[in-house]
């Protein structure tokens, strides 16, 4: 399983950079986090999001699978540990964080549902961003080419990809209902990193959103 945000895994929106040079999807996530809160970034890569968060006065921690990513983060002074989302989240106590973030990593976990459930247990809120496999270009490839879709943003062949659990925005919604997660906020991004209209229907997001960001909480009671 891969947790690192290797450049080859990036969707197009991820590579779009904002005014400060930061990835727009990370900027979007960081703006969802209240200053002063405690955050765990699962699959934190080279620590770019944690740095954005620390600049906002957030007490950020990270888990990263790749040794290179971890060592780079620690050398930057970030509180990051080497670990695996599938196995290591179980070691954290309930309500240890205000937010647990899973950015562009869900599709690479072995048991995405367990990971989401742990996130909801550890954090008061879970923030999940993932590439939407229901995007029209991916649908068209499967329909007309009859092969597993490969795009400029998801270039790996089926036998080579670390992304083993792709889902669509609708699929993710279904799972949220199943695990009893309350959807506090949802945003879909177009390939340029711009949020789609907030009042668009789900089918529209599922067709035109290249990626999605969800903020989840445990259902009260």
Partner 1 sequence: MGDQATTDTTRDAFGRPGPATMSTTPATAETKLPVLVREADRPRSRLAEFGPDTPLQLDCGVAFSPFQVAYQTYGTLNETKSNAVLICHALTGDQHVGNVHPVTGKGGWWDIMIGPGRPIDTDRYFVVCSNVVGGCMGTSGPSSTNPLTGDPYGLDFPVITIKDMVRAQTMLLDHLGIDTLFAVAGGSMGGMQVLEWCASYPQRVFSALPIATATRHSAQNIAFHEVGRQAVMADPEWRNGRYFVEGTMPRRGLSVARMGAHITYLSDTALHRKFGRRFQDRDNPTFSFDADFEVESYLRHQGSTFVERFDANSYLYLTRAMDYFDLAADHGGVLANAFKGTRTRFCVISFTSDWLFPTPESRAVVHALNAGGARVSFAEIETDKGHDAFLLDEPELLGIVRGFLDSAGRARGLVS
- Residue 186 binds partner 1, judged by CB under 8 A: no
Is position 92 an interface residue for partner 1 (rule: CB under 8 A)?
yes
Question: How many whole angstroms separate alpha carbon 181 and alpha carbon 220?
Answer: 9
Span from 29-37, 90-98, 123-131, 152-160 in contact with partner 1 (CB under 8 A):
90-98
Among 57, 77, 155, 180, binds partner 1 (CB under 8 A): 77
44 touches partner 1 by CB under 8 A: no
Q: Which residue has the tokens 């179980």?
A: 90
Q: Where are the alpha helices (DSSP H) in the chain?
A: 12-15, 24-31, 48-55, 67-75, 85-88, 112-122, 136-140, 169-178, 202-208
Task: Tell me if 67 contacts partner 1 by CB under 8 A.
Answer: yes
Task: Return the residue of 8, 17, 55, 81 that touches partner 1, per CB under 8 A.
Answer: 81
Q: How far apart are CA 192 and CA 67, in angstroms?
A: 31
CA distances from 193 to 18, 103, 113, 115, 171 (A): 9, 14, 26, 26, 21
Which tokens hold the place of 210?
A: 């290249």
Q: According to the binding rule CB under 8 A, does residue 76 interact with partner 1?
A: yes
Considering only residues 93 to 152 of the shown chain, the ones binding partner 1 according to CB under 8 A are 93, 96
Contacts with partner 1 by CB under 8 A lie at: 38, 59, 61, 67, 70-71, 73-83, 88, 91-93, 96
């Amino acid at each position: 399983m891969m947790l690192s945000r290797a450049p080859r895994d990036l969707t197009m929106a991820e590579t779009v950079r904002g005014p400060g040079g930061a990835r727009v999807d990370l900027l979007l996530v960081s703006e969802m986090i209240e200053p002063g809160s405690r955050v765990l970034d699962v699959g934190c890569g080279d620590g770019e999001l944690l740095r954005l968060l620390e600049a906002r006065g957030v007490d950020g921690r990270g888990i990263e699978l790749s040794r290179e990513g971890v060592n780079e983060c620690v050398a930057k002074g970030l509180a990051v540990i080497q670990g695996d989302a599938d196995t290591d989240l179980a070691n954290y106590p309930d309500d240890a964080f205000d937010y647990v973030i899973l950015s562009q990593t869900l599709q690479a976990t072995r048991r995405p549902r367990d990971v989401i459930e742990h996130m909801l247990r550890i954090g008061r809120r879970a923030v999940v961003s993932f590439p939407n496999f229901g995007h029209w270009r991916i649908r068209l490839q499967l329909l007309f080419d009859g092969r597993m879709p490969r795009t400029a943003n998801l270039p790996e062949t089926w036998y080579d990809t670390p992304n083993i659990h792709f889902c669509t925005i609708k699929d993710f919604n279904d799972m949220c209902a199943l695990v009893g997660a309350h959807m506090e906020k949802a945003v879909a991004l177009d390939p340029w990193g711009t949020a789609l209209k907030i009042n668009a229907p789900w089918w529209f997001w599922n067709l035109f959103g290249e990626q999605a960001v969800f903020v989840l909480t445990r259902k009260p009671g």
